[in-house]
Amino acid sequence: MKYFLITIIGLFVGISLVQFNCKKAIPQIDTKSYCDSIADMNFEYENRLNRYELTLEILREENPKLASEFEEIMSTQTE
């Protein structure tokens, strides 16, 4: 009988908590700040890509053999 009462009380508390949490408002996403953060990430990745491309151009001028080896490794072993 003791375990039966504990189970009933536990179920009652659990159901009450679920109902309480379901009545809370769903938080809204601030789309402007969300889009701004995506734009910031995009800027950072574009900046990295541009630096990478400039570095590869300089390497092609200074050491064409190494640049071609690098491009070969990048195209065949990193996919």
In a domain, 8, yes or no: no
Domain that holds residue 69: 39-79
**Is position 75 within any domain?**
yes
Q: Are 35 and 49 in contact (CB under 8 A)?
A: no
| Whole-number pLDDT of residue 41 | 79
Answer whether residue 25 is part of any domain: no
Residue with more model confidence, 19 or 54:
54
Sequential DSSP letters for the chain: -HHHHHHHHHHHHHHHHHHHHHTSPPPPP-HHHHHHHHHHHHHHHHHHHHHHHHHHHHHHHH-HHHHHHHHHHHHHH--
Instruction: Report if residue 7 sits inside a domain.
Output: no
pTM above 0.85, yes or no: no
pLDDT at 11 over 80: no
